[in-house]
Chains A and B, each alone.
Chain A
Amino acid sequence: MLDVAPQTEVRELTYAEAIREAMAQAMEADPRVFTFGEDIGTYGGAFGVTGDLIHRFGAERVIDTPISELGMAGVAVGAALTGMRPVLEFQFSDFSLLASEQIINQAAKIRFMFGGKASVPLVIRMPGGSGTGAAAQHSQSLEAIFAHIPGLIVLQPSTPHDAKGLLLSALDNPNPVLIFEHKLLYKVKGPVPAQAYRVPIGQAAIRREGGDVSIITTGIMAVRATAAAERLAAEGIDAEVIDLRTIRPMDVPAIVKSVKKTSRALIVYESVKTLGVGAEISAAIAESEAFDYLDAPIARLGGKEVPLPYNPVLEKASVPQEDDIFNAARALVREGHI
């Protein structure tokens, strides 16, 4: 399919609007595409993402479901196996754990178990992340759990542009794709081309070029790191910000290329620091030719080792903020460690 045509109109849309536009364009173009989830119909989705889709495409293609995450995920698997293109919305990504049986044991493995004779082209969209005071069971960043599973594709868009382009790519993809959206990004605006376009899966974006330190980020941390990088520039530190966009398959070549250029790597992600995405990025650097270019130990900023708390001050302290990224990057460049 086409990437962005140069003459296309570009508007400012919110992240949520961009997702809705992608859904609408996909449903217009392909009768196999439908979406289902809790309160996505008349209510318009807990975060308003599906909005008026039910009025445009009817209740047959924008389906309200009972609160049955495991069942819904299985329905997505069965529909995908038999020729449909289901897009399942979980109200919070935390609820995906109820459906992990179908996602991990079924969707991820069916193609392999069946010797390549079946595909499960489903998409699951779900909001993750902290910052809304929703506390421990509604604020997690669980992408690493699913990214650990061969057979799944895991996306984490950070801009309205990518939210739309990655969703359309996910719908083209013959594999199960999980999209971790971020609650705090839904109302963030950004330029979005009007026509349908694809953001390639597995390709990182360079949000800012720089030569002193590579800040490798996922999800909303790309936004915070880009802001921190502008402040670093005022201090004479030229940071490069990499937004992975796809967690699995990871764009390791982009990471390696950047670290070879800057000789310093700061990895920033919202999910819990240990045994997660950051460890994988760090290992990928250490295992690559970029190792010989490191002029400081690889540094990580991740979520603290706690369930997410309710109190807003505690909540903010639980995940990397812009100041944390700024301070860590500066220390890494100036002092050789964070």
Chain B
Amino acid sequence: MAKASLAAIPNQRPELAQLSDDQLKDAFYRMSLIRRFEEEAEQCYMKGLIHGTMHLSIGQEASAVGTCMALTPSDYITSTHRGHGHCIGKGADPKFMLAEFFGKRTGYCRGRGGSMHIADIEAGNLGANGIVGGGLPIAAGAALSIKMRKADEVVICFFGDGASNEGAFHEALNMASIWKLPVVFVCENNQYGMSMAFSRASSVANVADRAVAYSMPGVIVDGNDLPGVHSVMAQAVARARAGEGPSLVECKTYRTRGHSRSDRNLYRTKEEIEEWKARCPIERLKAELTATGRIGADVLDAITARVNDEIAAAVVFAQESEAPDPSQLAEDVYA
């Protein structure tokens, strides 16, 4: 379908109109895939098939997918401990991710990293990070590398509201600014650093307010609105790619699950959680796509069915994959 005819559809926001049907279907597919993946991972965890812990981003899918949609395959991202969405957004295959959760040799990290350290270097994912704020200077370094190599690439640096109070945030934004690095700092402000409310933890009302301290654009966007996120990110990425320097984008969002599997949600109300569940980014996109007539419900349902099959197959793959042998333990400590 030609873009011109899409724009002719009435009642359509420009943010939506910018996106092709294929882009929208792909976005819906990836958001659903993230959701289904995390739900299934949670199930496997509760069944005792996965050990350790994991940090679910259920409710935050739009910021991950909307951001990654603005990228090319050769662009980079740095991710966080809550990074499943970023990973799938950047093109990772859920079966290798799930295999990693199961600690298998077929996992992205051959069973060494687990949920918190998934990386997919080939796809440009420089890795999730167990340290809050750990990825910020790394993103700046990747951006410096791009600049020095004169490559046509940008770096997306995902981080949370909690990381904005780490020194690394300030050091990285400062260096990115003075060196005009091709990086976009994307804060997924899900309101809580574990249990600490952002409003209690931060000197500013918005993370984006801090952009002024580093002489870069600071933009706030509804993080549960896929077209909105994409629109803002597309501009920030274009700016970075053009050599005009970094931006700070704040996606206001919410995680409807706890911080990790051991969270009893003592620090927030059921009402608050329910309120945010009602703003589910996937349902929202589906409603908008069907209401505007951009994509029919039958098409979207078919995508959902495909996602369910894919995740079911991923579980089988993960379960049946070979476990690593302790004799291989010391491999890959050094190159």
B108 to chain A, nearest CB (A): 7
Alpha-carbon separation in the docked complex, A85 to B126 (Å): 17
Give B138-171 interface residues, CB cut-off 8 Å to A. Answer: 138-146, 148-149, 155, 167-168, 171
B127 contacts A by Cβ under 8 Å: yes
**Which B residues touch A153, using CB under 8 A?**
334
Contact across chains for A78 and B126 when beta carbons are under 8 A apart: yes
A43 contacts B by Cβ under 8 Å: no
Q: Which residue of B lies closest to A105 (CB)?
A: B131
Interface centre among B127, B178, B335 (most CB of A within 10 A): B335
Q: Which residue of B lies closest to A76 (CB)?
A: B141
Which of the segments A112-120, A125-133, A180-188, A322-330 contacts the partner chain? A112-120
Contact across chains for A74 and B107 when beta carbons are under 8 A apart: no
Contact across chains for B141 and A118 when beta carbons are under 8 A apart: no
B73 to chain A, nearest CB (A): 14
A246 to chain B, nearest CB (A): 13
**Which B residues touch A117, using CB under 8 A?**
108-109, 119, 121-122
B174 contacts A by Cβ under 8 Å: yes
**Which B residues touch A151, using CB under 8 A?**
333-334
B110 contacts A by Cβ under 8 Å: yes
A83-B145, A112-B112, A115-B112 known; A150 vs B333 contact (CB < 8 Å): yes
Contact across chains for A70 and B141 when beta carbons are under 8 A apart: no
Q: Which residue of B lies closest to A75 (CB)?
A: B141
Alpha-carbon separation in the docked complex, A114 to B87 (Å): 13
A71-B172, A111-B332 known; A86 vs B141 contact (CB < 8 Å): yes
| Proximity bits, A165-188, B CB within 8 Å = 1, else 0 | 000000001110000000000000
Alpha-carbon separation in the docked complex, A289 to B208 (Å): 62
Beyond A78-B126, A175-B335, 16 additional pairs, beta carbon < 8 A: A65-B175, A66-B178, A70-B167, A71-B175, A72-B137, A77-B141, A78-B141, A78-B145, A101-B131, A106-B131, A111-B334, A112-B112, A115-B110, A116-B335, A117-B108, A121-B335
Ordered by A's residue number, 22 sampled pairs between the chains whose C-beta atoms are within 8 Å are A66-B174, A68-B171, A71-B140, A71-B171, A71-B174, A74-B134, A75-B172, A78-B137, A81-B121, A81-B138, A81-B142, A81-B145, A82-B145, A86-B141, A111-B333, A112-B332, A113-B113, A114-B109, A114-B113, A117-B122, A119-B335, A151-B333
**How many Cβ-Cβ contacts under 8 Å join chain A to chain B?**
153
Partner of B117, one of A75, A102, A113: A113
Partner of B174, one of A68, A82, A113, A174: A68
Alpha-carbon separation in the docked complex, A268 to B145 (Å): 41
Partner of A71, one of B108, B129, B137: B137
B240 contacts A by Cβ under 8 Å: no
Contact across chains for A174 and B138 when beta carbons are under 8 A apart: no
| Proximity bits, B324-335, A CB within 8 Å = 1, else 0 | 000000011111
A34 contacts B by Cβ under 8 Å: yes
Alpha-carbon separation in the docked complex, A199 to B108 (Å): 36
A73 contacts B by Cβ under 8 Å: yes
A80 contacts B by Cβ under 8 Å: yes
**Which A residues touch B217, using CB under 8 A?**
none
A176 to chain B, nearest CB (A): 10
Give B73-94 interface residues, CB cut-off 8 Å to A. Answer: 76, 78
Alpha-carbon separation in the docked complex, A71 to B144 (Å): 12
**Which B residues touch A119, using CB under 8 A?**
335
**Which B residues touch A135, using CB under 8 A?**
none
A188 to chain B, nearest CB (A): 31
The 10 lowest CB-CB distance pairs between A and B, nearest first, are A74-B137, A78-B141, A71-B171, A116-B332, A115-B110, A75-B141, A174-B335, A115-B109, A78-B138, A78-B142
A335 contacts B by Cβ under 8 Å: no
B258 contacts A by Cβ under 8 Å: no
B121 to chain A, nearest CB (A): 5
Contact across chains for B171 and A118 when beta carbons are under 8 A apart: no
B246 to chain A, nearest CB (A): 13
B111 contacts A by Cβ under 8 Å: yes
Contact across chains for B149 and A81 when beta carbons are under 8 A apart: no
Contact across chains for A75 and B113 when beta carbons are under 8 A apart: no
| Proximity bits, B100-140, A CB within 8 Å = 1, else 0 | 00000001111111000101011000110111001011111
**Which B residues touch A205, using CB under 8 A?**
none
Alpha-carbon separation in the docked complex, A150 to B144 (Å): 27
A284 contacts B by Cβ under 8 Å: no
